A = this chain, B = another copy of it.
Amino acid sequence: MYSWPSRSGIMAGNSFGEIFKITTFGESHGGAVGVVLDGMTPGIPISKEEIQVQLDRRKPGQSFITTPRAEPDKIHLMSGIFEGKSTGTPILMILYNKDFEPGAYENIKEMFRPGHADYSYFKKYGVRDWRGSGRASGRETSARVAAGAVARKLLEARGVKVIAYTKRAGGIECQTFDPEAIEKNPLRACDPVAAEKMLEVISKVKDEEDSMGGIIECRITGVAPGLGEPVFDKLDAEIAHAILSVGSTKGIEFGAGFAAADMRGSEHNDQMDSQNFLSNNAGGIIGGISTGNEIVFRVVVKPTSSISRVQMTRDMGGVTKEIRTIGRHDACICPRIVPVIEAMACLVLEDHYKRQAAMLA
């Protein structure tokens, strides 16, 4: 019998969505990063300015607790748009890489940085683009933000609004919810007073060559009851998939979330009267389908892995080594992940709206 050759390869994992579908490409220090968006509604006006607005929320250098890498992150729209409107064919959005600083990574070329995907990527592929995390770089998420901006536009026309914000960081929890405050503080926290304290703590941690994690909350309003595809493509299951595909996230919970473990059914069940739900412990999704209640979920973000402190690790030859990851780091990545979380939520929702629409005809 025939025997297959034994070289290594990998199956595609760079696409997301069933109908409103994205495929991203690109490494931190390759020629470009970007996305092909397929399944776009034709006839929709699209300008690069409205995409750039979202990218600017994710780009580096927004405050002193984030990395100063000087990428302009300018978007280029290369196909799928004619006379300012979508044609229904794939939209290529591309960001050329400019701020190459590969020399900065020479010292880690032969070592696996703790907390980074260096080791697992190497074990998987047998090769490793060591320049700035290669494909595992957070820079890949700019492609998601670009595509998400298009999804957001379609959702807004349906009355759907998606906002995320830092709920907790540096051990400080927001005590109020002020949506106006979010874009006005460097943490993108929903409580301006808490934001001040977070900044204080994280600045201190940064001075100590360390980093901190946090929790991001996302709220989605305007989704009518009935969105989501049982049984495997439940709306919450797909959101969880989308969110945990973002680097640095380590968990997600909906509505009452982990607190439900200690609750009773009589307490957790969201009762209704003729007008409203009387609570929202389910977080707006039951049986994988939207209930019409606000969709609420929280995501935990781990502390940034890149720190300048000395850590123990292994080199390519398997020998124990000490490593210091010198370079440009984010002391807390939450504010830059906020727009990525929103983008992923938008992509899931728009895809499910289109899947739902397939019920017609």
Contact = CB atoms under 8 A, between A and B. Distances in A.
B2 A159 contact: yes
B254 A250 contact: yes
Interface string A117-131: 101110111111101
Contact of A253 (B238, B300, B360): B300
Q: How many copies does the complex hold?
A: 4
A344 to B, nearest CB: 10
Contacts of A25: 36, 78-80, 89-92
A241 interface: yes
A359 B244 contact: no
A231 B260 contact: no
Contacts of A313: 271-272
A251 B252 contact: yes
Interface size class of A (residues with CB under 8 A): 35 or more
A245 B233 CA distance: 7
A327 interface: no
A43 B124 CA distance: 11
For the complex of A and B, list the 9 residue pairs with the smallest distance between their C-beta atoms, beginning with the closest: A9-B359, A117-B287, A13-B229, A251-B253, A9-B41, A13-B233, A120-B289, A115-B269, A241-B241
Given A124-B226, A211-B265, A253-B258, 13 more contacts: A9-B358, A11-B359, A24-B232, A42-B125, A42-B126, A78-B94, A87-B125, A117-B289, A120-B286, A120-B290, A264-B303, A355-B358, A356-B361
23 contacts: A4-B224, A4-B356, A8-B88, A12-B21, A13-B232, A25-B36, A26-B92, A27-B82, A27-B87, A31-B79, A42-B125, A42-B126, A42-B127, A87-B125, A119-B291, A123-B292, A211-B266, A232-B241, A237-B240, A245-B288, A256-B302, A257-B300, A360-B360
